[in-house]
Structure 1
Amino acid sequence: MDFSLDLPTGPLAEAALTAVFTSEARPVANHSVRSFLFAELLAAHEGCLEDADYDRDLLFAAAVMHDLGAGDLAKGEARFEVEGADLAAGLLRRHHVPEADVDRVWEAIALHTSPGLAERRGLLCYLTRGGVGIDFGVRAEVVAAWEPRIHAAHPRLDMVRSLVDAIVERAARSEAAAPHYSLGGGLLRERRAHGVTELERAAESSPWGR
């Protein structure tokens, strides 16, 4: 298939990358870029690139900024998915993105840890969650041909541990940031009880490790 590791360009894409790489730990930022590339490969694999709902720039915004709530811009006043969605929406509005598209990106980020919901809320939500999932080893066969080049360009650098650290640190700041049955709340409670989370244990057996 015709595929490139080139990322979208322009003021909005540059602002999104700047926000990510200046506020997130480098392993998490690299994960965010890989998530976009994997989401794009997933779209190609499933024949979605010509779909009327497919928008590469919005997919880039949602996938690259999906973990802003685990970065330094987040205050830990709500669950990290929601804080990240709010931060991304603010950036999009500053770049005069239409409100309907802002809402689509907000939803994709807010639901990216919600299995069974994201997959039913449209193509952008589906691909965003799918790209993130692939970087955790889910459906890794879809991107097998390109995975070595993507990891060479954007290495993992102990991504899972770094991301869990960031989510747990913010979840510990307030009860609103760690509600029961949320990812952040669950990870915080696992860390406090066991010192390690199931997500970290699972990474040991994923196709690409941590």
Structure 2
Amino acid sequence: MDILDRTMYPTVPTRLLAGVVVPDTPIVTRAIEFAREHCEPYLFNHSMRSWLFSAAVACLKSSPHDAEVLAVSTLLHDIGLAPEFFGPLRFEVEGANAAREFARASGMQERQAQLIWDGVALNSTPSIGLHKEAEVALCTAGIGLDWGGFGYEMLSPSLIAAVLDAYPRLEMKQRFTHAVCRIVESRPETTYDNFARDFGERFVAGYKKPASAVDLLMNSPFKE
């Protein structure tokens, strides 16, 4: 079941977790505990699965990357859904700000902290995230695989089963929907230009985007 070549991480200690070799460093341990502390169990499990899937995808693609950056960004990618990090910005940006502060407080370099910010902020925008640096692209790929099954066929059924056994989904579909709908109801202004709008239109009575992008362009205060 060990699909990851340990030589991918020649400079850091590793451990085997649900069939995937992952870095085993103090920063990664702190990120796991930070996610566990602030996320509901279903969301923590989603974050762990996303990290494991991102590491597995990195192996399959033989993609060099900073293992700690990938771990922190993936583990903390949904931290903005935790009530402690609610704010006036869309939840991905609130989460990205919190993850970057975590990275800085953990002694990571500014370049690493910025890559973590990008990974968290862009994880729900794969049309951008998948085309950025390896750490951001892998973060996006692992999250997308667990969230919507994107790239599901890349991994073996036995590996996926091992990850799900270690970190069960715990009604992820329903609970994630409820979490996003809470944001739509309480902070609708943060949802008009992102995927949360889809949940509002489907599940939240009375939700309506105030204007389309076309309206914004046509009503801008400039003469042709």
1:123-143 Cα offsets, whole Å, 9 max, x none, are 111111100111121111212
In the alignment of these two chains, the number of paired residues is 190
Q: Is contact 2:181–2:204 with CA below 8 Å preserved after alignment?
A: no
Structure of greater relative contact order (alpha carbons < 8 Å, 6+ residues apart) = 1
Q: Does 1:177 align with 2:205?
A: no
1:151-207 Cα offsets, whole Å, 9 max, x none, are 0000011112112212221343224422x231223322321149xxxxxxxxxxxxx
Higher alpha-carbon deviation: 71-80 or 108-117: 71-80
Deviation at 1:81, TM superposition (A): 0.7
CA distance in 2 between partners of 1:105 and 1:168 (Å): 26
Query: Which of 101, 106, 120 pairs up with 1:95?
Result: 106
Q: Does 1:86 align with 2:101?
A: no
Q: What are the residue-to-residue correspondences of 1:160-199 with 2, within 5 Å?
A: 160-178=173-191, 180-193=192-205
Structure 1 equivalent of residue 53 of structure 2 = 38
Distance 1:86 1:171, change over 3 A: farther
Q: What are the residue-to-residue correspondences of 1:17-56 with 2, within 5 Å?
A: 17-48=32-63, 51=64, 54-56=65-67
Deviation at 1:119, TM superposition (A): 1.4
CA distance in 1 between partners of 2:205 and 2:134 (Å): 37
Tell me, which stretches of 5 or more residues in structure 2 are unaligned?
Answer: 5-15, 207-224
**Amino acid in structure 1 at the alignment position of 2:54:** A
Higher alpha-carbon deviation: 14-23 or 167-176: 167-176
What secondary structure does 1:37 align onto?
helix
Q: Is contact 2:39–2:79 with CA below 8 Å preserved after alignment?
A: yes
Tell me, which stretches of 5 or more residues in structure 1 are unaligned?
Answer: 195-210
Q: Does 1:143 align with 2:158?
A: no
Q: Is contact 2:3–2:56 with CA below 8 Å preserved after alignment?
A: no
Structure 2 equivalent of residue 132 of structure 1 = 143
Deviation at 1:7, TM superposition (A): 4.7
Q: Under a length normalisation based on structure 1, what TM-score does the superposition of the two structures give?
A: 0.83
Q: Is contact 2:185–2:204 with CA below 8 Å preserved after alignment?
A: no
Q: Under a length normalisation based on structure 2, what TM-score does the superposition of the two structures give?
A: 0.78
1:47-106 Cα offsets, whole Å, 9 max, x none, are 11xx2xx01111100111000011132214211111110110111111111111100010
> Which structure: larger Rg?
2
CA distance in 1 between partners of 2:94 and 2:56 (Å): 27
Distance 1:184 1:18, change over 3 A: same
Distance 1:85 1:110, change over 3 A: same
Q: Is contact 1:76–1:173 with CA below 8 Å preserved after alignment?
A: no
**Amino acid in structure 2 at the alignment position of 1:138:** F
Q: Would you identify which runs of 4 or more consecutive aligned residues in structure 1 move more than 4 Å?
A: none
Q: Is contact 1:107–1:125 with CA below 8 Å preserved after alignment?
A: yes
**Amino acid in structure 2 at the alignment position of 1:16:** A
Indicate the percent of aligned positions where both proteins have the same amino acid: 24
Distance 1:186 1:174, change over 3 A: same
